[in-house]
Amino acid sequence: MTRREEFTRWMLKHSNRSKNTIDKYAAAVVTISKELTKYSNTTIDIYSINDSMSIDSIKQIYLKIDVLREKDERGNRMYTSALEWYKKYLKEAEFISNIAKEQPSEYSVKHIKKLKGEFKIKDGMKYWNRDRSIVDKIIYIKNNECEYDNTHRYFISKATNKNYVEGHHLIQMQFQDMFEYSLDVESNIVSVCLVCHKILHLGRLEDKIKIIEKLYNLREHELKSSGLDIRLDELIELYK
């Protein structure tokens, strides 16, 4: 299967665009490659590019060429839109590839002890840095489902075209000083729907406890493996 065919199939699955529009986007990528080769005097084959960040540079070059920028504007930005969708395709391909390298046989989390990261002080409060890629990995591994109740499905994310969920630090980052090791680890991050997430942050304690108990039971041993030894009653206390 060619890269163009892979891109087309990916868009059919992950976008809400019509088949006709998707075919136009796939063809537009070829057209952009030819036109950039013509006007920039550099041979460019976008379908041979594997780095998603390179697409931003290509887009900048494209928009600096007056005749191409005007053509894109007349076409309701179809060409730059095609580049944006191709970038999204490459980003997901990169993410899956990275997970496969880490876990060649199966996608699973790593339960490791990790040193505390850096933090910054703002308005007298300490804010610990977080690694967004860890959240993305957990959500991917958990198949975009709420770990408290996998029937919780409120809407489809525009960005992923999958069930919308959010990552939550079971032991919240504000309590990092209480622990020797980092809280920003896979063992401490859970995938939850937006309603469960709001309850954990803003809900009544009695409503929080039901969710905390189940998530704790799912993560207890993994937390210990990451040097985060905490009892259920101690965890609940942190949510009061």
Are 38 and 80 in a shared domain?
yes
More confidently predicted of 30 and 91: 30
Tell me whether residue 112 is in a domain: no
**Residue 124 scores a pLDDT above 90:** no
**Which residue in 25, 18, 19 sits closest to 80, CA to CA?**
25
Are 219 and 127 in a shared domain?
yes
Are 182 and 89 in a shared domain?
no
pTM listed for this prediction = 0.58
Average pLDDT, the chain: 88
**Residue 110 scores a pLDDT above 70:** no
Are 82 and 149 in a shared domain?
no
Return the percentage of the chain with pLDDT > 70, whole number.
93
Are 37 and 80 in a shared domain?
yes
**Residue 66 scores a pLDDT above 90:** yes
Tell me whether residue 113 is in a domain: no
Tell me whether residue 109 is in a domain: no
Are 201 and 96 in a shared domain?
no
Chosen domain end from 38, 71, 102: 102
Q: What is the pLDDT of residue 95?
A: 58
Are 128 and 208 in a shared domain?
yes
Tell me whether residue 215 is in a domain: yes
Tell me whether residue 19 is in a domain: yes
Across 1-5, 103-107, 138-142, 220-224, least confident range:
103-107
Q: What is the pLDDT of residue 177?
A: 93
Are 146 and 193 in a shared domain?
yes
Are 150 and 223 in a shared domain?
yes
Give per-residue pLDDT as tens, 31-52. Answer: 999 999 888 877 889 998 888 8
pLDDT grade, residue 128 (50/70/90)?
confident
Tell me whether residue 59 is in a domain: yes
Tell me whether residue 108 is in a domain: no
Domain range enclosing 46: 3-102
Q: Name, of 28-37, 96-105, 115-124, the range with top average pLDDT.
A: 28-37
Give per-residue pLDDT as tens, 168-213. Answer: 999 999 999 999 999 999 999 999 999 999 999 999 999 999 999 9
Are 125 and 218 in a shared domain?
yes
Chosen domain end from 55, 74, 102: 102
Are 35 and 144 in a shared domain?
no
Chosen domain end from 35, 70, 102: 102
Q: What is the pLDDT of residue 215?
A: 96
- How many independent structural domains does the chain possess? 2
Are 170 and 126 in a shared domain?
yes
Tell me whether residue 110 is in a domain: no
